[in-house]
Amino acid sequence: MYGDSDDSAQREWQRQQETAEKAWRERDEAAAQHAQSAWREQNEQAARGWRERDEACQRSAADYEVSVRETLRQTDEKREKEQREEAASEAKDRAHRAHHDHWNQVSSSSRADRAEQRPRKSESGTHHGSSSSDGSLFGLLVGAAMLILAFLVLGFVKSVLFGTSPTMHVTKTVSYADFSNPLIGGDHVRITPRHGFEYNSRFPNIGSWRIVVPGAGFHGTFVVPVSGRYDLVVTHLTSLEPSCPGRGYSPVTIRVNSNIVAANYDAAADHGGTHGMVTDSWPIVAHAGENTFEWISGGSACTHYWIQRIEIQSAIDNNEGQS
């Protein structure tokens, strides 16, 4: 009887032991499955993160390539414009030389006619004297006609090359600021950067400073010799970012002597959506001596504002200068 009881107790103990071992195995398997699932999820998250970073790097590289191509295109256009201006200048010089040679020829002819007709006046009276006067007048009329023709030809050449009227316009830079280096250069201009305005060290080949924080910017002073009207000429750009309005939006407000010259002006929006360097010009009024200006980025800016050069130019119309 006791033997049967011991066997039953031993079997019960073995059954409980097997049940416990099974429970432990199930818990171990569940823990292993959970750990494996968590490890797979972490690996997937890490892979997604790397893919997103790679895509962001590719987008940045593509945006940089677009910006560089745009800058190179503008450089080529500027070079072509300079070549056209040089050709127009050469045409002007040729026209002036032709007029000068013709004028010398006409003057020599007129002097020869007068020298030839003076003896006739003493022999034949006033009749030949009238002929001499008529010959001199004719020479002067021919010279004036050639002068007018030379200026008309010059105006036509310029209108063909540049699509402008024959009236010539000459500008002179009286002061400027150059932002193409870490140390801002220039002449008769002093720049005071504010917080958020820094040298664009990421793209030193373009050469510029940039406003990186909305509401940031810079202020400064410039000097002009006399009071009057001038042109404020600025070379700048709106940086590219496909996720922003217009693929880039960085408006600035420009003031000269506390007067607003441009309010919330975005360079890309005003130049057909281009995000390369562009040049804008605004008329301003300055007084002799020191004047002030200020650049402030708009609060709605989504990308950085880059600036390369500021010039204060005096505009002189040749026709006005000759009157």
Instruction: List the single range of 88-92, 159-163, 274-278 with lowest mean pLDDT.
Output: 159-163
Average pLDDT over residues 91-109: 67
pTM for this predicted structure: 0.49
Q: Is the pLDDT of residue 217 over 90?
A: yes
Average pLDDT over residues 27-54: 79
Q: Is the pLDDT of residue 126 over 50?
A: no
Instruction: Give the residue among 286, 308, 310, 281 at the shortest CA–CA distance from 223.
Output: 286
User: pLDDT grade, residue 120 (50/70/90)?
Assistant: very low
Q: Which amino acid is at 190?
A: R
pLDDT for res 275: 92
Instruction: List the single range of 23-32, 221-230, 246-255, 290-299 with lowest mean pLDDT.
Output: 23-32
Specify whether the backbone of 127 is left (phi greater than 0), alpha (psi in -120 to 50) or beta. Answer: alpha
